[in-house]
């Protein structure tokens, strides 16, 4: 017998151990627009909004998809409700009711603009990945893009995130409506200022007065988000149906740890995110560096080294004493000394919490997925800290290992004719296919591409020597098998 579908009508059927909204979802107002309602938004920003709604009914969410309608179509028969499964030693299930409206921009751009410009909207949040910001290689808005040119030509029917935001702000200015805070939640360094610069540049191409108004009146706070969020699978759907007694077409899952650090922009009219557990600070970059170099850097290290050593998941890799010991030495000797702790963050305790999160066996975080987009991740997760250590005279030996492992992992994938998931996939495939396993032949080819290694690092003899040494050591171990990789890592210095 097929289970009934999760919806407002079936909420009362949930078992007592499944948490349900602490408010009537049908009675709340919409005060937030979120663009890009993927899994992370639903385990993170929507969860925070769900907590706010228990005490303030103004902060329901309108979810806007810029492309696919699949997710929103799945949730429509469920009245926007979905199940969040929290994976830890004690697993739990919670129904989230914060998503009260769903719009698909290509289908109804007018409705999206109307909602974005509505006086009751005081916050716009975004999870669209870096691609959604339409930035060029220099980090500035790429106004030569055909889609942006189209939005400039037809501003009342935009297609891009930037176009929608600029047009909605133009309408607010014309109507005398107070602007919302626009909050990027993407893993993009200095996300608020970069979004602000892109929006102002687009407005400048339309109307100097509009650009000046946005620059002076609209808040674009920096933010940092964190919670490990594995993809939704059929196994999760089955597990949620068994736990709740109801069918949920698109549940989500995450670890118990969740964090949102927001630059304090004093937006009195907006949501009180701090009341929901977010951290307000005047130094988001310091929190971000700690996350990038401790958590994300270790993730990438475990991904490439772990895959070479025969592991498949983060929990499996960190259970290997050789890899766990390496991560702890990397942090103690080469990462923590270069980090400044922002107020409210104990870096040693944070590192310990990261290790505990990695060891969570209930979260199956695939190393192969973490290995995606290495050309975009490693410059900020590993290379930035390595360059800082070289400049300040600190040790660097451990930081070379994830870079060498990445290059050898690309070589392995190319030789096996596996598809690489990376914006520079074609370039990486060529490098991997041509690789010999000898540093003197392989490393110079990688260093010749400034998209892979900065000119500063690629011209530093200390960096070249260290990377070539690491590459040769790890290549020899890789040729001998997974056990040899583990032994190599265990004795790395």
Residues 348, 408 within the same domain:
yes
Dist CA 439 CA 427 (whole Å): 18
Residues 365, 271 within the same domain:
no
Mean pLDDT of the chain: 95
Number of C-beta neighbours around residue 417 at 10 A:
8
Confidence of residue 313 (pLDDT cuts 50, 70, 90): very high
pLDDT at position 268 is 61
Residues 364, 234 within the same domain:
no
Mean pLDDT calculated for residue range 199-218 = 97
Looking at 282, 298, 320, which one is the last position of a domain? 282
Question: What whole-number percentage of the chain has pLDDT above 70?
Answer: 99
Looking at 247, 282, 317, which one is the last position of a domain? 282
Confidence of residue 108 (pLDDT cuts 50, 70, 90): very high
pLDDT at position 241 is 97
Contact 103, 63 (CB under 8 A): yes
Residues 272, 387 within the same domain:
no
Residues 181, 309 within the same domain:
no
Question: What whole-number percentage of the chain has pLDDT above 90?
Answer: 91
Contacts 24+ apart (CB under 8 A), 412-417: 412/308, 412/478
Q: Which residues pair with 246 in a beta bridge?
A: 4
The model carries a pTM of 0.88
Dist CA 437 CA 434 (whole Å): 9
State how many domains the chain has. Answer: 2
Dist CA 45 CA 98 (whole Å): 10
Residues 86, 226 within the same domain:
yes
Query: For residue 460, what is the domain's CATH number?
Result: 1.10.1040.10
Query: For residue 102, what is the domain's CATH number?
Result: 3.40.50.720
Residues 181, 270 within the same domain:
yes
Residues 289, 276 within the same domain:
no
Looking at 240, 255, 282, which one is the last position of a domain? 282
Range of the domain at 341: 285-490
Dist CA 342 CA 54 (whole Å): 31
Residues 227, 241 within the same domain:
yes
Residues 207, 312 within the same domain:
no
Residues 267, 383 within the same domain:
no
Confidence of residue 265 (pLDDT cuts 50, 70, 90): confident
> Of residues 14 and 189, which shows the higher confidence score?
14
Residues 403, 479 within the same domain:
yes
Confidence of residue 131 (pLDDT cuts 50, 70, 90): confident
Mean pLDDT calculated for residue range 245-250 = 95
DSSP assignment string, 426-465: HHHHHHHHH--S-HHHHHHHHHT-TTTS-HHHHT-HHHHH
Mean pLDDT calculated for residue range 68-76 = 87
Instruction: For 50, list phi and psi in degrees, rounded to 5.
Output: -60, -40
């Amino acid at each position: 017998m097929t289970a009934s579908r999760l919806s407002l009508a079936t909420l009362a059927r949930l078992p007592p151990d499944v948490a349900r909204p602490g408010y009537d979802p049908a009675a709340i107002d919409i005060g937030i627009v979120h663009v890009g309602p993927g899994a992370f938004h639903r385990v993170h920003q929507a969860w925070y909004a769900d907590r706010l709604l228990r005490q303030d009914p103004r902060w329901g969410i309108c979810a806007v998809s810029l492309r696919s309608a699949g997710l929103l179509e799945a949730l429509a028969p469920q009245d926007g409700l979905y199940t969040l499964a929290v994976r830890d030693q004690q697993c739990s299930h919670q129904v989230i009711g914060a998503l009260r409206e769903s719009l698909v921009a290509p289908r109804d751009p007018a409705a999206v603009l109307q909602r974005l410009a509505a006086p009751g909207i005081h916050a716009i949040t975004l999870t669209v990945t870096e691609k959604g910001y339409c930035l060029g290689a220099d980090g500035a808005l790429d106004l030569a893009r055909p889609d942006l040119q189209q939005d400039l030509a037809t501003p009342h029917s935009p297609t891009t995130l930037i176009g929608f935001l600029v047009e909605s702000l133009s309408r607010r200015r014309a109507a005398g409506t107070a602007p919302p805070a626009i909050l990027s939640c993407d893993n993009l360094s200095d996300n608020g200022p970069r979004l602000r610069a892109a929006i102002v540049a687009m407005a400048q191409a339309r109307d100097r007065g509009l650009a000046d108004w946005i620059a002076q009146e609209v808040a674009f706070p920096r933010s940092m988000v964190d919670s490990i969020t594995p993809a939704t699978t059929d196994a999760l759907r089955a597990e949620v149906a068994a736990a709740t007694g109801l069918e949920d077409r698109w549940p989500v899952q995450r670890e118990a740890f969740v964090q949102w650090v927001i630059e304090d922009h004093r937006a009195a009219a907006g949501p009180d995110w701090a009341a929901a557990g977010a951290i307000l600070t005047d130094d988001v970059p310091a929190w971000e560096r700690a996350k990038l170099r401790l958590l994300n850097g270790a993730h990438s290290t475990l991904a490439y080294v772990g895959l070479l050593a025969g592991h498949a998941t983060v929990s499996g890799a960190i259970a290997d004493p050789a890899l766990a010991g390496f991560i702890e030495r990397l942090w103690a000797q080469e990462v923590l000394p270069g980090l400044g702790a922002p107020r409210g963050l104990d870096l040693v305790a944070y590192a310990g919490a990261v290790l505990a999160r990695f060891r969570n066996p209930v979260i199956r975080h695939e190393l192969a997925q973490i290995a995606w987009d290495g050309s975009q991740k490693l410059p900020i997760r590993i290379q930035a800290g390595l360059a800082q250590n070289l400049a300040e005279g600190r040790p660097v030996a451990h930081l070379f290992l994830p870079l060498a492992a990445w290059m050898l992992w690309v070589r392995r994938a190319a030789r096996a004719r596996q598809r690489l998931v990376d914006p520079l996939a074609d370039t990486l495939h060529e490098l991997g296919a041509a690789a010999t396993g000898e540093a003197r032949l392989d490393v110079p080819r990688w260093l010749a591409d400034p998209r892979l290694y900065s000119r500063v690092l690629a011209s530093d003899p200390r960096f070249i020597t260290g990377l070539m040494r690491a590459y040769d050591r790890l290549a020899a171990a890789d040729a001998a098998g997974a056990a040899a990789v583990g032994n190599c890592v265990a004795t790395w210095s």
